[in-house]
Amino acid sequence: MPNDPLKKLYRRPGFMIRRAHQIAVALFLEETGELGITTTQYGILFVLRHRPGIDQISVAKLLGLDRSTTGMVVVKLEQAGLIGRATAAGDRRRRSLKLTRAGERMLARLAAPAERAQARVLSALAPQERTLFLDMLDRVTHSFNGSTRVPLAADKGQMTDDGKDGAPPAVVRSRQAAARQRVSSLRGARRQAKERT
């Protein structure tokens, strides 16, 4: 249908980003299917490979995940024998996470299929478009990171061992104020657009 009203919905950025995410997850699962690992599980394994000994809250912040989701996935990975927990030195309440030998092997087995999945997602674009596409996605995610329910900590500065943002408090407050201002401006623009219609 030439004037299909759904085309307007399908061209909305949020719709297309959600759809692209569904496709990326499906391609990842196609490539890694026999290993039985989800994209979230892969992300946690990858983080622990490069940040061994960090705690669950820090993992959640580095991946932009809510704590309950992270907790459930960590339990599943622990039950599968892919990660282990230990009491952190100096803080008996804090449990540090690390890959087990089985987790290291699993991550090694996931490397090639994860690369293939990524290549398949980008294969719809010409080689010169791929970097631009990733740069544009990066700009969108960085611009609105502070306005999400679970901001990505890696975007805000170096994280300390206790999982807190390492930026000075004044910088953190300034970033939070800027994010609130962006959200407020966006809401104001939406209100004005509704009033005009």
All domains in the chain, ordered by first residue? 6-151 (1.10.10.10)
Residue with tokens 């206790």: 162
Predicted TM-score (pTM) above 0.85: no
* SS percent in the chain: helix, strand, coil, step 5: 70, 10, 25
pLDDT tens across the length of the chain (197 residues) = 568 889 889 999 999 999 999 999 999 999 999 999 999 999 999 999 999 999 999 999 999 999 999 999 999 999 999 999 987 666 667 789 999 999 999 999 999 999 999 999 999 999 999 999 999 999 999 999 988 888 888 654 444 433 344 444 444 455 556 556 655 665 666 666 666 65
Q: What is the pLDDT of residues 114-172, one digit of tens each?
A: 999 999 999 999 999 999 999 999 999 999 998 888 888 865 444 443 334 444 444 44
Predicted confidence at residue 196, as pLDDT, reads 65
Q: Which residues of 27-56 are buried (b: 16+ CB within 10 A; e: fewer)?
A: bbbebbeeeebeebbbbbbbbbeeeeebbb
Q: Which residues of 95-134 are buried (b: 16+ CB within 10 A; e: fewer)?
A: ebbbbbeebeebbeebeebbeebeebbbeeeeeeeeeeee
